[in-house]
Amino acid sequence: MPCSLCETRKEKRFCPAIHDRICPQCCGEQREVTLDCPSDCIYLQQAREHESERPRHDRELTELDRESLFPNVNIEEAFLYQQENLLLGISFALAKSARADRNLRDSDLIAALVSLGKTHETLVQSGLHYDASAINPPQQAVIHEIKTMLAEYREVEQKNRGYVALRDSDILRGIVFMTRMAHTRTNGRPKSLAFIEFLFQQFPDKVAKEEQASRIIVP
């Protein structure tokens, strides 16, 4: 039987994305490009394992990629320890957004992070409140979730410490760190969910529901 996609090569594997049989070449070429591959697909899992073994530096970055990584923002190792709760809060907000909208892809989270990062970069450099270029509603929802978390974080600091210690520069570095992590976790395909699934592993559904119910953020 021919592959249901190319209709020329012989089918050799079942594709759960289209519930039909396809050839290995179409599987490799269309995986997370035109196909919405479910996370339990064995061929997707095998590809992820192979990708994780490749050095990250072997992926060529475009000028746009480099710019979205905020090369001028330095993140010291000490920051990761000092602002661990901030990073967890941003990660949780991303995971929550992805669970609320199952149509989100890695690229959506990255676009939201980059947009929010540019806003805070302008704020830190010039003191101006400037929203970066408009993005689509789902990505705006991700930004809203992160902003909500940040507002709650500062409210808890004010309540527990009597003052707000979190600086705009800390938020910028936290967002940049998560942006860079997202780039290393995703495979860059249009429909990639690798970074989102990484977030889900950090915040399993049961844990996420408990966190949402408590709404506790401890600075």
User: What pLDDT sits at residue 24?
Assistant: 95
* Ranges of H-type helices in the chain: 24-30, 42-53, 63-68, 77-82, 84-100, 106-126, 137-161, 168-185, 194-202, 205-214
In this prediction, residue 213 has a pLDDT band, given cuts at 50, 70 and 90, of very low
Predicted confidence (pLDDT) per residue in 157-181, tens digit: 999 989 899 999 999 999 999 999 9
Instruction: Say how many C-beta atoms besides its own lie within 10 A of residue 193's C-beta.
Output: 24
Q: Is the pLDDT of residue 85 over 60?
A: yes
Cut 0.75: pTM above it: yes
Predicted confidence (pLDDT) per residue in 102-154, tens digit: 999 999 999 999 999 999 999 998 887 777 666 899 999 999 999 999 999 99
Residue 78, classified by CB atoms within 10 Å of its CB into exposed (0-12), middle (13-18) or buried (19+), is exposed
User: What pLDDT sits at residue 131?
Assistant: 72
Domain boundaries of the chain, sorted by first residue: 1-53, 62-214
Please give the radius of gyration of the chain, using alpha carbons only, rounded to the nearest integer: 20
Least confident of 54-58, 128-132, 171-175, 203-207: 54-58
